[in-house]
Amino acid sequence: MKNKLQKFGKFLSSMVMPNIGAFIAWGFITALFIEKGWFPNAELAGIQPPMLTYLLPILIAYQGGKMMGGERGGVMGAIATVGVICGAEQTMLIGGMFMGPIAGLLLKKFDEAVEGKIPAGFEMLVNNFSVGIFGMVLAIIGYYVIGPVMAAILAFLTAGVAVLVQNKLLPFVAIFVEPAKVLFLNNAINHGIFTPIGAEQAAEAGKSIMYMLEANPGPGLGVLLAYWAFAKDKTTKSSAPGAVIIHFFGGIHEIYFPYILMNPVIIIAPIVASIVTIFFYSIVGAGLVGPASPGSIIAFLAVAPKGETLIVLAGVLIATVISFLVASPIVKMSGDKNLNEATEKMHDMKAAAKGTQIKANGEIKKIVFACDAGMGSSAMGATKFRNRIAPLNLGITVINTSVDNVPADADVVVCQTVLQDRAKKSAPQAQLVTIGNFLADVNLDALYATLESKSTGKTATNNTVVEEVKEKTNNKNVMVKEGIKTGLRAVSKEEAIKAAGELLNRLGYVNENYISAMLEREKTVSTYMGFGVAIPHGTASAKNEVKKTGIVLLQYPEGVDFGDEKAYLVFGIAGIGDEHLDLLAKIGTIIEDENNIEKLKNAKTAEEILDMFN
């Protein structure tokens, strides 16, 4: 149940977090230009209501739709949410959180249902009309059904908060909020619950106390100061000052979670501090004009209403002092505690919150080869490595994908060095193997050696996977004689890529826009594979420009400069699904043999080359 709540909370916060900049912009406009703002300006204040009513819910819905159904899912979620907005009088942040993922999921299911069934040349028509038609239908449903329902839910939640405030019970939400933060539900609570309610209150009163319940940096600061002053373990004591700076000024509250996990009873300190501080804010009628994210003192004060900065700051000070006073004796009595173990525990919990779990004893079940688009180099590398480890009979799944869409259950991610930062962001739970190229690399050899040492000789499960791929991807029209050009004069890399794209277009594999996407892809990371071979292809966003799967080959006997390497064989790739994987695997197998490389480089006719791949 905890893991499910964490995953759901992560999902909610993932819709909001990329759009925090928009919330900050709205908060600043509110703080500066409304009637009670720092610099009242009726004209500029007029920007604020449309941002709150339309921009923020639509951005949230787009992000939710994109998470479920890609960019088209995001567009469809935005369309549908306009209907929800128009069907309710309240601010529909919560409506965007609901409608965006629903739209993205619907589009994803539709795409799965029609995959492989759309006639060649009609892909763009179907893709665009599906978004428009389904988006229109959902917008209508949103107007008549979802909008009123979400409005009722929001009204109920707002009324509940009002009851808590009237009966002076609001401070006691800290009993649930503070422990939930340590379980990595902090962003979910703040952005999934408090922000929608706060937006509704801020629209009416110009500020809301809801923005202060989770974001206050004071409770966590007090805990860190107590460890700094009284921790017996030198490592813990010396790490606290740096954590104070990151937490208080950087707003990264997660930095103090290990200090609580190290000694769970210390959670009493931030709970008591929050209760007292919320009670203080309730008495003085304090609030913020917008969400403070991240929970830095800078962000907290930046969205304080005009004339209330000192009150807001006083609440942070109260929380810090009380948390410090409560935490200090607990730290003194706790003895030596291991911060490293607590940090590891936190990483495990965070992995669970993302829907992943760090594998025990280095267990590897899924290896993901990732490149920018997930179409060419990673596909060839994954297929080749899958075949390489099949005899080991380890039951390991090897797939390829875009570096920005690595699945949550990946244990190992293989990518080019220049993409490692994106890979870490996409799959923080996975072991990262960085390489120069996907066909021959010492790090790939090291990974194979590690797997080889685990070989048990059990029933071959990988062989089944390989055969399924071969059966699925067998397509005689992927490479044709007309798509092979021999004896070409040496040109620049850009000219070679453009020539490959033009040939793909001329043979009906891609639309003309795919050519520029191939050039753009090369700017991100080189498509040079090693062994004198390059496989240029389009970016991930250009997959809609592919009409059918095809591979062309341009032979340059004198070579084309791809950075510090020369490519003599330039394979232009356009793939739909997995239809090109079998041929890519065969290309990878053939070019491992130097004699085959020489044959391909010196072949005089297209027929000679085609025979090697049949």
Q: Which residues are catalytic?
A: 371, 537
Residue 286 has which token pair? 């304090």
Q: Which of 601, 498, 614, 483 is nearest to 551 (CA)?
A: 483
Longest Cα separation, the chain: 88
What is the Cα–Cα distance from 606 to 578, expressed in whole angstroms?
A: 25
Q: Return the number of other C-beta atoms located less than 10 Å from residue 332's C-beta.
A: 13
Residue 485's DSSP bridge partners are 554
Spatial contact of 394 and 459, defined as CB atoms under 8 Å apart: no
| Kind and range of the H or E run holding 349 | helix 339-353
Q: Which of 287, 327, 320, 293 is nearest to 306 (CA)?
A: 287
Residue 537's DSSP bridge partners are 573
Q: Letter for the amino acid at 310?
A: L
State the DSSP string of 8-68: HHHHHHHHHGGGHHHHHHHHHHHHHHSTTSSS--HHHHTTHHHIIIIIHHHHHHHHHHHHH
What is the Cα–Cα distance from 477 to 575, expressed in whole angstroms?
A: 12
* CB crowding 173-200: b at 16 or more within 10 Å, else e: bbeebbebbbbbbbbbbbbbbbbbbbbb
In Å, what is the CA distance from 51 to each residue of 28, 134, 191, 234? 12, 25, 17, 49
| Kind and range of the H or E run holding 95 | helix 93-114
Q: Is 530 left (phi over 0), alpha (psi -120 to 50) or beta?
A: left
3-state secondary structure 351-366: HHHCCCCCCHHHCCCE
Q: What residues contact 204, with CB distance under 8 A and at least 6 apart?
A: none
State the DSSP string of 306-343: TT-HHHHHHHHHHHHHHHHHHHHHHHHHT----HHHHH
Q: What is the layout of strands, in order, in the sheet containing 484-485? A: 484-485, 550-562, 565-574, 533-534, 528-530
Residue 94 has which token pair? 């919560």
